[in-house]
DNA sequence: TTGACAGTTGCAACTCATTCGCATTTGCAT
DNA sequence: ATGCAAATGCGAATGAGTTGCAACTGTCAA
């Protein structure tokens, strides 16, 4: 575990909590998992598996891609991270941390912005209820393009 | 072209129009494409490619799965059908016919219901606009479960 | 009708993202 | 320290969909 002993950044404080939580869930905290957790916590974009693998290799040089995939699945089922399957792209991941939100994908750049609308959520619930359903979860993605100022 | 000569069902009237439209778009109307068009027009569910292949085989026995995939892509880019990629499932298709709508997927049965909410669409546009974007297209899926009457 | 030829087809081989089997290694409770 | 189930790395396998290519076939002009 190179370069980092006592001084713990706020980023890592959250990880320490998670580490403990995972251990209690009977999930071993291996070097590769710790690496992925820190990489995920540090990410403010929405990286896909190969990208996370690349980033994790800095901390754990030989880490294999299958381990990355396996760990991502594990973390997802632990509710630690979320998997997003945007159109025509490999799955991308993000830590749950903040609450629920939806996504806006810039079709030009691939950038992902987050947003949340209580009003929409409420309408969704109403629509489902009207048909006798309750929402288990939902997915809303806006594929957008930057508006070029009025020519 | 077996079993069907003069009497044309209302289902096929729409297809005849399409046939002409495609021809004009420089797209040959082959037996396999005609078959897929009629199968799609007749479908009121949201079939995936292998299922469409199965159904099309009634009309064109030897049709290959690759042709089905290729044709679906062609029809999609012609705006004749829409492709939907729901969670953890192969793509499913539906004719465009009616206007835009969103989907509700019963997580228990896999059934797909359609719905549409102008209010939500409006809110989406507002949200995008606030951030300086315009919506190219969007995707909204509600994964739902039937509400069991109050126990 | 007949050609001609570009668009299509069927097949098999391929891609890409992700998963799996298995022998080896390793957290971690004791 | 020690045991052992859980996790890893490797490579092979999967599933959905795509693609190269030779043979075929709509379609349009003659």
Return the H-helix or E-strand segment holding A7: none
The Cα of B128 is separated from the nearest Cα of chain A by a number of Å equal to: 7
Q: Is A100 annotated as a binding residue?
A: yes
pLDDT at position A16: 66
Whether B28 has its CB under 8 Å from any CB of chain A: the answer is no
Residue-wise pLDDT for B71-126, tens only, equals 999 999 999 999 999 998 999 999 998 788 999 999 988 899 999 999 999 999 99
Structural contact between residues A34 and A19, judged by C-beta atoms closer than 8 angstroms: yes
Contact assessment for residue A52 and residue A72, using Cβ atoms and an 8 Å cutoff: yes
Q: What is the pTM of this model?
A: 0.84
Residue A15 has a pLDDT of 62
Decide: CB of A66 under 7 A of nucleic strand C. Answer: yes
Residue A18: predicted pLDDT: 78
**pLDDT value of residue A51:** 97
User: Could you say which residues of chain A have pLDDT below 70?
Assistant: 1-16, 149-151
* Inter-chain CB proximity A144 and B127 less than 8 Å: no
CATH of A2-95, one of 1.10.8.190, 1.10.10.10, 3.40.190.10, 2.130.10.10: 1.10.10.10
Q: Do B142 and A124 touch (CB under 8 A)?
A: yes
Q: Is strand D less than 7 A from the beta carbon of A145? A: no
Residues of A in contact with B83 (CB under 8 A): none
The separation, in Å, between residue A15 CA and nucleotide D22 C1' comes to: 59
pLDDT of residue A9: 39
A85 vs B contacts (CB less than 8 Å):
85, 87
Q: What is the pLDDT of residue B144?
A: 96
Count Cβ atoms below 10 Å from residue B86 Cβ, excluding itself: 19
B19/B127: higher pLDDT:
B127
Q: For B107-121, what is each residue's pLDDT tens digit?
A: 988 899 999 999 999
- Please check whether residue A110 touches B, CB under 8 A: no
CA distances from B132 to A147, B10, B82, B127, B129 (A): 6, 45, 28, 9, 5
Contacts of A142 in chain B (CB under 8 A): 124, 127-128, 133, 135, 138
* Residue B14: band (very low, low, confident or very high) from pLDDT cuts 50, 70, 90: low
Q: Which pLDDT value is given to residue B15?
A: 63
Task: Give the one of B136, B146, B147 whose C-beta lies nearest to A107's C-beta.
Answer: B136
Report d(CA B79, CA B69) in Å as an integer: 15
CATH number at B102-144: 3.30.1490.190
Domain boundaries, chain B: 2-95, 102-144
Question: How far from B136 is each of A106, A142, B59, CA to CA, in Å?
Answer: 9, 8, 37
Select from A85, A133, A140 the Cβ nearest to the Cβ of B144: A133
Closest C-alpha among A61, A3, A2, A9 to residue A32 = A61
């Amino acid at each position: 575990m190179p370069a980092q002993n006592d001084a713990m950044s706020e980023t890592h404080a959250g990880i320490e909590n998670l580490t403990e939580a995972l251990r209690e869930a009977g999930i071993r905290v291996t070097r590769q998992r710790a690496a992925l957790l820190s990489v995920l916590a540090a990410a403010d974009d929405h990286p896909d598996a190969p990208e996370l693998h690349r980033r994790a290799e800095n901390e754990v040089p030989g880490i294999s891609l299958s381990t990355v995939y396996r760990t991502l699945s594990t973390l997802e089922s632990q509710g630690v991270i979320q998997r997003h399957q945007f159109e025509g792209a490999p799955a991308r991941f993000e830590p749950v941390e903040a609450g629920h939100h939806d996504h806006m994908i810039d079709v030009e750049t691939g950038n992902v912005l987050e947003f949340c609308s209580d009003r929409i959520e409420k309408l969704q619930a109403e629509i489902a209820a009207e048909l006798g359903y309750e929402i288990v979860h939902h997915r809303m993605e806006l594929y957008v393009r930057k508006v070029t100022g009025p020519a």
